[in-house]
Amino acid sequence: MHREGTAEHPLRVVVWGENRHEKIEPHVAEIYPDGMHETIKRGIEENLGARAVVSTVTLDDPEHGLTEELLASTDVLTWWGHAAHSEVSDEVVERVHRHVLSGMGLIVLHSGHWSKIFTKLMGTSCTLRWRSEHDRELVWTVDPTHPIAQGVPHPIEIPEQEMYGERFDIPAPDEIVFISSFTGGEVFRSGCTFRRGNGRIFYFSPGDQDFPVYHHKDVRRVIANAVEWAVTDRPEREVPVLLRYESGDFFNGHGYKGAIKEQVDAS
């Protein structure tokens, strides 16, 4: 059964932010004086209320804030990065990757499409067409029955936004929830779900740092919906493992020692 947050047992959500543009670009700091990560956090809180406990960490925190202890206690992680993808430690990426495969939910936002963690999970370049010219974006709902699409208009209108367009070099999504169109006629798969191992992933493209997109009530609702959707329905978090089963024994798997070791033990 899919676990939903309650006041007694709230979802544990961590918002990860690069937090660089806000520090060095005055116009970004004016839009997001507390940082985009804090704005995203407040959007989740206003929609989920007591059903979620939300915290933030940033790139410049020790271990980028993503310690083993934090990730082990996190139900869903959201990720926004842009200017400093290369500064994210490979060790931390491996750690996050392992937790996603084990069942931690991951929400990748906007330019996080080019983050190390997203490209690793997708196995493709994740490149796309783009333009930053104050385009209007219309976010059209493809699947109105999907939990992530609940309570949002069709379309969501974002007055100013960076254009992201096809081709978007990602694997075929498990589900396409939203498609966006832009002033120049471009279209983009802007809301896509994926499953990797035991983890659920949602990519949502609106959210360039130059525009107040994360103040938009409908964008905030989508992210909050995605957080609830991304929680694993497995009773325990664990990485998928390779197990050997005896003939006729459907339930008691045995650990795999490696092909040569298995052959030696059998001889």
Residue that has been written with the tokens 């929680």 in this structure: 231
Cα–Cα separations (whole angstroms), residue 259 to 244, 245, 248: 11, 15, 22
Q: Average the pLDDT over 240-255 and give the result.
A: 88
Cα–Cα separations (whole angstroms), residue 58 to 16, 20, 45, 76, 80: 6, 9, 18, 16, 10
Q: Which of the two residues, 27 and 265, has the higher pLDDT score?
A: 27
Which band of pLDDT confidence, cut at 50, 70 and 90, is reported for residue 229?
very high
Q: What is the mean pLDDT of the chain?
A: 94
Does the pLDDT at position 166 exceed 70? yes
> Do 43 and 220 meet the contact criterion of CB atoms below 8 Å apart?
yes
Domains and CATH numbers, the chain: 11-241 (3.40.50.880)
Does the pLDDT at position 264 exceed 70? no
3-state helix/strand/coil string of 120-171: HHHCCCCCCEEEEEEEEEEEEECCCCCHHHCCCCCCEEEEEEEEEECCCCCC
Q: Give the model's pLDDT for residue 177.
A: 98
Q: Give the model's pLDDT for residue 188.
A: 98
Cα–Cα separations (whole angstroms), residue 120 to 34, 41, 131: 30, 25, 25
